[in-house]
Amino acid sequence: MAVKKFTSLLHHLNNAEDGRRWLYVPYDQVSDKIGPLAREEPEKLGIILVENPWKAARRPYHKQKLGLILANLRHFALEQARRGVAVRHVVTNGPYHLALETLSRELGQITMMEAAERELRIDLEGLTTGGAIKVIPHEGWLTKAADMEAAKSKDGSYRMDSFYRAVRQRTGILMEAGKPEGGKYSFDSENRQAWTGQPEAPAIPTFEIDEITEEVGDLINKHFAHHPGTLDLSKIPATAKDALTLWQWARENCLTYFGPFEDAMSSRSNSLFHTRISAALNICRLLPAQVVTDTLELDIPLACKEGFIRQIIGWREFVHKIHRATDGFRQQTNETAEEPGDANYKAWAKKSWHQQVDLKKNKQNVEPDGGALCSFLGSRNDLPQAYWGQQSGLNCLDTVIKTVWDEGYSHHITRLMVLSNIANLLDISPRQLTDWFWLAYTDAYDWVVEPNVMAMGTYGVGGLMTTKPYISGAAYINKMSDYCRGCRYDPAKNCPITRLYWAFLERHNDKLSGNQRLAMPLNSLKKRSLKDKSIDKAVFEKTLQILNDGQILPVDIVSQ
Ligand code: SF4
């Protein structure tokens, strides 16, 4: 791998290694504001940073994601060398434990904050249990495993609302004399406006491309050119300073309007007033404690403040804790995928992902598996090529998919109410959709996508953490977005998504019939005529087949 400029600059800046205590800093912990790097003298510490083509090759990750991680890792190495920390930058091509085992023999016991990703914890398990690596708590989280006690219901399910209330009470965040500010814990009901163009959505921030980031771009274009997605270096916050610039942009441009338009979707803006900080947060370039403190100081409407803080201290922490508590939902199933999934990449690329990457496998070493295979509804269909960029003819889907492959990002309502919704309506395998999110989004890791997609978006673990599947017909998409205005279909007449919605309820009626939150649509289903039900079913079957073939749906699919 070409590491010339970066290597020579690091060599120039680096510090003597004698007598240092060594820390392993994973790819998603690039911060000196937490852990030993925040408290101890830089001159007494050494850090190990591992670049790993094997990790990059496990899935067809979006080029932008590879760029984000690599550019931050390299800039972090230089930032720490400048502070006086000794830096060991290692390139390895296999499971992380192989490189770290060798280093531990040379450098002595290595300390690390607990890995956020289960995949990395499993990779390093032999070293952490054997003592070569000493694990200390990850200081980037605001909540503890004990906070999940409040989230657990008597029936064993977990509820974010209860978790969030307990965290607010314990921390005093947005609380006054033991009561929630404004009289209630959530202002979600006020945060459901569609966006009609005003106030204007802010332009997406861009960042300086220095020679280190440029070299990362060259490396990706040379060695990872077969990965999907567009690489746009100008949109990568690559340094500690860039992350702060992004956060400053978000505070100035987004948070005042975040609340009311939180659920809105538009073809004119991919993020509207969402802050786009999740990718930086999930590698610790920004820390939730800082983000919360800064937000509390802003002079913005309470509904906006609460809505955003709920994402940070509520949902984000909750999904991490539930992933930990359920061992990545392995407690909900005996089935796991042997290999990391490629989200049906082969149907689109016409070649298998694993045949074209040079995975250096060491058969003596156990590699992390491909994750739990959960499907409460028994959905097993393959992800259509439309998710890889093939046009489907459904404007909502095609618009969001394009932004994902352009940027490695779309905001959470498009993820839920377009991408997950349509996958649900087509009975797509929750595992495949989860793997797709994992590889396509710059902010995605196992603890992010398995709860968000497999458990919430697809109802893959039933009611474990959500009360119902997130599904809708065209009416919701039309109400909350402008997608339908540019579509070949009329949401009130011939949109196949509405037919797919009814067909979904009919197919899964047995499993959903006791669900109180679906009582209304299931009652309406009963009144639906046999003729309509037959058309619903036919539209489902035709849609699935046409999208599986990588074709565009015909305009008259409903009336055929
Ligand atoms: Fe999507 Fe239907 Fe609206 Fe078209 S009409 S954008 S397919 S919901």
3-state SS string over 207-265? CCCCHHHHHHHHHHHHHCCCCCCCCCHHHCCCCHHHHHHHHHHHHHHCHHHHCCCCCCE
**Nearest atom within ligand 1 for CA of residue 394:** 7
**Which residues are registered as beta bridge partners of 91?**
51
pLDDT at position 366 is: 61
Q: How far is the CA of 231 from the centre of ligand 1 (A)?
A: 29
Q: How far is the CA of 394 from the centre of ligand 1 (A)?
A: 6
pLDDT at position 364 is: 47
pLDDT at position 3 is: 52
Q: How many residues does the chain have?
A: 560
pLDDT at position 305 is: 95
Say what the pTM is.
Answer: 0.96
Of 394, 398, 426, 493, which is best to mutate to test ligand 1, by the most ligand atoms within 8 angstroms of its C-beta? 394
Type and span of the H or E element at 118: helix 118-123
Q: How far is the CA of 397 from the centre of ligand 1 (A)?
A: 8
Of 400, 481, 495, which is best to mutate to test ligand 1, by the most ligand atoms within 8 angstroms of its C-beta? 495
Among protein residues, the one whose CA lies closest to atom 2 of ligand 1: 495
Reduced DSSP (H G I as helix, E B as strand, rest coil) percent helix, strand, coil of the chain, to 5: 50, 5, 40
Among protein residues, the one whose CA lies closest to atom 7 of ligand 1: 394
pLDDT at position 427 is: 98
Q: How far is the CA of 374 from the centre of ligand 1 (A)?
A: 29
Q: How far is the CA of 261 from the centre of ligand 1 (A)?
A: 20
**Which residues are registered as beta bridge partners of 179?**
176
Q: How far is the CA of 500 from the centre of ligand 1 (A)?
A: 12
Among protein residues, the one whose CA lies closest to atom 1 of ligand 1: 396
CB 506 within 8 A of CB 525: yes
How many whole angstroms separate alpha carbon 87 and alpha carbon 191? 46
Among protein residues, the one whose CA lies closest to atom 6 of ligand 1: 484
Give the other-Cβ count within 10 Å of 184's Cβ.
12
pLDDT along the chain (560 residues), means of 10: 81 94 98 98 98 95 98 98 98 95 97 98 96 97 92 93 96 96 91 91 97 98 96 98 98 94 95 97 98 97 95 97 96 92 93 66 65 96 97 98 98 96 98 98 98 95 94 97 97 97 97 94 97 97 97 91
Strand 21-24: give its sheet, edge to edge: 86-91, 45-51, 21-24, 110-113, 133-136
Q: How far is the CA of 491 from the centre of ligand 1 (A)?
A: 6
Cβ-based neighbours of 163, under 8 Å, separated by 6 or more: 143, 147, 148, 150, 151, 314, 317, 318, 321
Which one-letter DSSP state was computed for residue 147? Answer: G
Of 402, 484, 555, which is best to mutate to test ligand 1, by the most ligand atoms within 8 angstroms of its C-beta? 484
Closest-CA residue to 450 (of 308, 318, 288, 255): 318
Q: Give the residues surrounding ligand 1 with Cβ less than 6 Å away.
A: 394-396, 474, 477-478, 483-484, 487, 489, 491, 495, 497
**Nearest atom within ligand 1 for CA of residue 474:** 8
**Which residues are registered as beta bridge partners of 381?**
428
Q: How far is the CA of 344 from the centre of ligand 1 (A)?
A: 24
**Nearest atom within ligand 1 for CA of residue 397:** 1
Type and span of the H or E element at 112: strand 110-113
Q: What is the dihedral sign for C-alpha 502, 504, 510, 516?
A: negative
pLDDT at position 560 is: 66
Structural tokens at position 250: 């978000």
Type and span of the H or E element at 23: strand 21-24
pLDDT at position 354 is: 76
**Nearest atom within ligand 1 for CA of residue 473:** 8
Q: How far is the CA of 114 from the centre of ligand 1 (A)?
A: 44
Of 497, 547, 557, 558, which is best to mutate to test ligand 1, by the most ligand atoms within 8 angstroms of its C-beta? 497
How many whole angstroms separate alpha carbon 71 and alpha carbon 233? 9
Of 392, 413, 487, which is best to mutate to test ligand 1, by the most ligand atoms within 8 angstroms of its C-beta? 487
How many whole angstroms separate alpha carbon 551 and alpha carbon 530? 29
CB 207 within 8 A of CB 243: no
Q: How far is the CA of 393 from the centre of ligand 1 (A)?
A: 9
CB 470 within 8 A of CB 497: no
CB 430 within 8 A of CB 374: yes
Q: What are the DSSP calls for 415-473, one per residue?
A: IIIIIIHHHHHTTB-HHHHHHHHHHH-TT--HHHHIIIIIIIIS-TTGGGS-SS-----
pLDDT at position 191 is: 76
**What are residue 474's phi and psi, to 5 degrees?**
-70, -25
pLDDT at position 362 is: 47
